[in-house]
Amino acid sequence: MNRVETERPKLADHRTPFIFNEWYVAALSSEVTRDLMARTFLSRSVLLYRKLDGSVAAIRNRCPHRSFPLAHGTLDGDDVICGYHGLKFGSSGRCIEVPSQDSVPAAMKVQAFPIVERPPFVWIWMGDPALADPAAIPDHHWLSAPDYAAYSGYLHCKSNYIRLHENVLDLTHFPYVHGEATGGLDYISAPTVIRTEGDSVSITRRLKDGRSTQAMDG
């Protein structure tokens, strides 16, 4: 007897390729300063810093000469000087100075990434720059709206990011994993509204006269 194969939706796991053409939170605005800061996105090390006009620059954290991490160099105005042989790069990623010679090879440049700052976040686009549309950045106005209480911070999770998505899309683990201080049984039994719109899913759980009204978007 022949077995009938049925198509099942595949769940994402550690083998799922990265999605490049999307906006990602690169940092909190307060984290990006005049100090050179390296952070890894989609397995690529990126150098972030704030330019003199206050805007944020993001370039690949790897000198094209001998692969030295540019975050270990120095900032000169809006330009980065590599800490190995002194090549200087503009915030566009183009090499503008080679101290040991008169000319700069045209191919000497590092990748620059589109950045949009919408406090409290700095957003980065790791994919095709031509597709980077700031209108696609998810709305997060409640993080700075006076009628909402918001908490933010940096949490380093030693796991695949897929696990984090799975974790935060179902907060009924709160009282069991984190204790009742983060939400008791009244929290997990509150009516839940799940909405899908385009590529995003939102889950809203309201507690009347309780201490939390929580919305998660993913």
Q: Which residues bind ligand FES (CB under 6 A)?
A: 63, 65-66, 68, 82, 84-87
Name the residue nearer to ligand FES (CB basis): 108 or 188. Answer: 108
**Least gap, CB of 193 to ligand FES (angstroms):** 53
Place of tokens 């549309």: 133
**Least gap, CB of 15 to ligand FES (angstroms):** 34
**Least gap, CB of 164 to ligand FES (angstroms):** 34
Name the residue nearer to ligand FES (CB basis): 29 or 111. Answer: 111
Name the residue nearer to ligand FES (CB basis): 70 or 122. Answer: 70
**Least gap, CB of 88 to ligand FES (angstroms):** 9
Name the residue nearer to ligand FES (CB basis): 86 or 175. Answer: 86
